[in-house]
Amino acid sequence: MFDTLSSRLDKVFTSLRGRGRLTDADIDATAREIRVALLEADVALPVVRSFVAAIKSRARGAEVGASLNPAQQVIKIVNEELVAILGGGTTTLRFAKTPPTVILLAGLQGTGKTTLAGKLGRWLKAQGHTPLLVAADLQRPNAVNQLQVVGARAGVEVFAPEPGNGVGDPVRVARDALAHARRQVFDVVVVDTAGRLGVDEELMRQAADIRDAVSPDEILFVLDAMIGQDAVATANAFADGVGFSGVVLTKLDGDARGGAALSVAQVTGRPIMFASTGEALDDFDVFHPERMASRILGMGDVLTLIEQAEKAFEAEQAEAMAAKMAASEFTLEDFLDQMLTVRKMGPIGNLLGMLPGMGQMKEQLAQVDDRDVDRVVAIIRSMTPGERRDPKILQASRKARVARGSGVTVTEVNQLLDRFAEARKVMRQMAGGMGLPGGMARAK
Ligand code: GDP
């Protein structure tokens, strides 16, 4: 699945490599190629339109950063937009406060509902639940038996109508199953329903009747990713006829073009929750939009590349800071920035303890209190820019003003200034230790 789309997109990105800057014409041409690639992959037209519009406007607005070249930037944007149309984040099942949680499976015949019931059962069991599978597909000959076989393989109990009792009445089977689950303390009930080859009213009504009888917590619409352009119409028909809270994509292992998979979340506004990738019970997992996007872009390595570039950018910033330290240009202003960054990252003791070379300082660090950090921030903020750059100008009256402004005593202001002077000295030594210019020798 997605092979054509992947190779098409790859071509688009390749043509951008080595470019220094993207003109508007470049962006238009790129957007056109992406549009063709998506349409060829059977992605629904409204989804293609909004996707391409987003790529265009974001690529235009993208800063020419030091860290990413234009090709990487486009890849990054396409990746993020793909993740967005696939639903953004991972969505998990909602379990009822009072068990049993009821999950209803709906979808066309042959999409893989019965197989899915087994997969879900096994998955739920692995999560520590006690699921019950319910054979409410009484249309297809052998469907009940198929569920029993799948259930046995998954090691999960199956509730099936007894001969002569409820045969032909799926609503009754579902209701009886729920009562059985309550009595026997099953905490999740998965109801397999009948599908038809095409969308028809009778099918919808039956699924809706079962829905009304068991008030499901989740209705999962099961969609065969191979069905192509029909996916959107089918999804919409089920959204109108039965309604659903999530989508399960099956047969993602197939070699179809996969546009259905790419359209359904956006078109229906419902998240893709699970994905099926084969006939075996284990070919099943929670759906992760980010992973799917990376798979489409075929870019484990590209993403790593982007990460490296971003890290390099951070390293550049760190280097600039280190150079400042070494050149004794490190001011209270920089100190404040650092404090604020540190504050954002969580308890300061833990954080500094993780830095290499900081091990021996751990004990001291454990005594650092975050409220200390807040106090330091308040003191520095009460200083004028001139005072922050050159604390030597802080005479007694200025110190008194700063103390008042930050709600501390003059002694505390003095303590901070001493600590800062000390920190500056240590930093110069560290910079020297890292082989940066202006290190130990000059610090002495
Ligand atoms: P139902 O009519 O919706 O209950 O569909 P079934 O569960 O009977 O599945 C129809 C066929 O699709 C069966 O042959 C399954 O083995 C097969 N199938 C189900 N899920 C997948 C999948 O993810 N990948 C592949 N390749 N086949 C699947």
Where do runs of H (alpha helix) occur along 275-299? 289-296
| Mean pLDDT of the residues in the chain | 82
Dump pLDDT digits (tens) for 146-198. 999 999 999 999 998 876 554 578 999 999 999 999 999 899 999 999 887 77
Residue 389 in tokens: 């750059």
Q: Is 293 within the bounds of a domain?
A: no
Q: Is 127 within the bounds of a domain?
A: yes
Q: Is 309 within the bounds of a domain?
A: no
Domain region containing 36? 3-88
CATH of the domain at 17: 1.20.120.140
Using the 3D structure, point to which of 235, 257, 287 is the last residue of a domain. Answer: 287
Q: Give the phi and the psi of residue 375 in degrees, each rounded to 5.
A: -65, -45
**Are residue 55 and residue 193 in the same domain, yes or no?**
no
pLDDT at 430: 65
Using the 3D structure, point to which of 287, 313, 336 is the last residue of a domain. Answer: 287
Contact 220, 103 (CB under 8 A): yes
ipTM: 0.98
User: How many angstroms separate the first and last alpha carbons of the chain?
Assistant: 65
Read off the DSSP letter of residue 165. Answer: B
**Are residue 166 and residue 126 in the same domain, yes or no?**
yes
**Are residue 220 and residue 134 in the same domain, yes or no?**
yes
User: From the CA of 34, how far away is ligand 1's center (Å)?
Assistant: 32
pLDDT at 440: 35
More confident residue, 80 or 219: 219
**Are residue 77 and residue 107 in the same domain, yes or no?**
no
**Are residue 428 and residue 340 in the same domain, yes or no?**
yes
Per the annotation, does 362 bind a ligand? no
Q: Which residues partner with 224 through β-bridges? A: 250
Q: Is 317 within the bounds of a domain?
A: no
pLDDT band at 317 (very low <50, low <70, confident <90, very high): low
Per the annotation, does 390 bind a ligand? no
- Map tokens 């001291």 to a residue: 364
Per the annotation, does 250 bind a ligand? yes
Contact 197, 109 (CB under 8 A): yes
CATH of the domain at 419: 1.10.260.30
**Are residue 107 and residue 222 in the same domain, yes or no?**
yes
Q: Is 303 within the bounds of a domain?
A: no
User: From the CA of 141, how far away is ligand 1's center (Å)?
Assistant: 15
Using the 3D structure, point to which of 287, 316, 336 is the last residue of a domain. Answer: 287
User: From the CA of 280, how far away is ligand 1's center (Å)?
Assistant: 10
The pTM score is 0.69
Contact 51, 41 (CB under 8 A): no
Residue 119: is its pLDDT beyond 90?
A: yes
HEC readout, 303-323: HHHHHHHHHHHHHHHHHHHHH
Q: Is 294 within the bounds of a domain?
A: no
Which bin fits 243, alpha (ψ -120 to 50), beta or left (φ > 0)? left
CA 132 – CA 243 distance, rounded (Å): 23
**Are residue 128 and residue 164 in the same domain, yes or no?**
yes
b/e burial code for range 309-318 (CB count within 10 A of at least 16 → b)? beeeeeeeee
How many structural domains compose the chain? 3
**Are residue 70 and residue 105 in the same domain, yes or no?**
no
Q: Is 306 within the bounds of a domain?
A: no
Where do runs of H (alpha helix) occur along 41-188? 45-61, 70-85, 113-126, 143-154, 170-184
Dump pLDDT digits (tens) for 392-418. 899 999 999 999 998 999 999 998 898
Residue 67: is its pLDDT beyond 70?
A: no
